[in-house]
Homo-oligomer: A and B are copies of this chain.
Amino acid sequence: MKNDKHEHLVWTEVSRERVLKTPIFTVCTIHRKSSAGKNAAFTFLECGEWANIVPLLKNEAGEDCFLMVRQFRQGGQSLTLEFPGGLVDPGETAQEAAARELREETGYEAGRISFAGEINPNPAFMGNRCSTFIAEGLRKTSAQDLDENELVDCELVPVSELEKNMGKGVYNHAIMVVAFFWYQQWKAEHGGP
């Protein structure tokens, strides 16, 4: 740790007000003091952990694919194609949440799940992590089991399509770009599809 050298950059929390509770996060104002004694207030979203999962399987033509979910995103106000994922529930590990989201959104279960990486979605105003897992040995075991306001279609997307278009069009979700980044590192290390 080189923290001593960077001590002049550090702010310490003085107090925290919870200003607004929403279904997906609580908005806070955090009062902090800098090492030099400055006082300032910062907006912060208290939020649970997130998890997503990159499910690998072949299509009927034998091509390596991702099992992805197409949904209307209420923020982007358009359809996206994403890896399954969501909030980690209380008492769950990130891996359990990833397996559950895979099952609920697609009806598939994995023979093997591996951790690929984790990230802070936005350390400017969030403190949570999003963990990414790789799912192999998939088999369909049930129907979808969606939350009341979830409308989700499953699609097989060739790996080559994402190698070409990740980050663009329906693939424009930053967190999915990061999941794909972790997938590429996992692939380089494990030689998978």
Which of A80, A126, A130 has the most B CB atoms < 10 Å from its CB? A126
Interface residues of A in 122-155 (CB under 8 A from B): 122-127, 130, 148-149, 151-153
- Asked if B123 and A78 make an inter-chain contact with CB atoms under 8 angstroms apart, the answer reads yes
State the interface size on chain A (CB cutoff 8 A). Answer: 63
- The complex places the Cα of A80 from the Cα of B151 at a distance, in Å, of 37
Say yes or no: is A159 at the interface (Cβ < 8 Å to chain B): no
User: Cβ of A76: which chain B residues have Cβ within 8 Å of it?
Assistant: 120, 123, 126-127
User: Cβ of A70: which chain B residues have Cβ within 8 Å of it?
Assistant: 6, 9
- Asked if B124 and A75 make an inter-chain contact with CB atoms under 8 angstroms apart, the answer reads yes
Q: A20-B27, A38-B149, A153-B6 are in contact. Are A178 and B174 (CB under 8 A)?
A: yes
Give the contact stretch, choosing among A39-47, A89-97, A105-113: A39-47
User: Cβ of A9: which chain B residues have Cβ within 8 Å of it?
Assistant: 70-72, 79, 151-153
Say yes or no: is A34 at the interface (Cβ < 8 Å to chain B): yes
- The complex places the Cα of A167 from the Cα of B184 at a distance, in Å, of 13
User: Cβ of A178: which chain B residues have Cβ within 8 Å of it?
Assistant: 167, 174, 177-178
- The complex places the Cα of A166 from the Cα of B168 at a distance, in Å, of 21
- Asked if B38 and A167 make an inter-chain contact with CB atoms under 8 angstroms apart, the answer reads no
Q: Mark A63-74, 1 if CB is under 8 A from B, else 0.
A: 000000011111
Q: Mark A171-184, 1 if CB is under 8 A from B, else 0.
A: 01111011001100
| 6 closest A-B pairs by CB | A76-B123, A73-B123, A42-B74, A22-B43, A75-B125, A40-B149
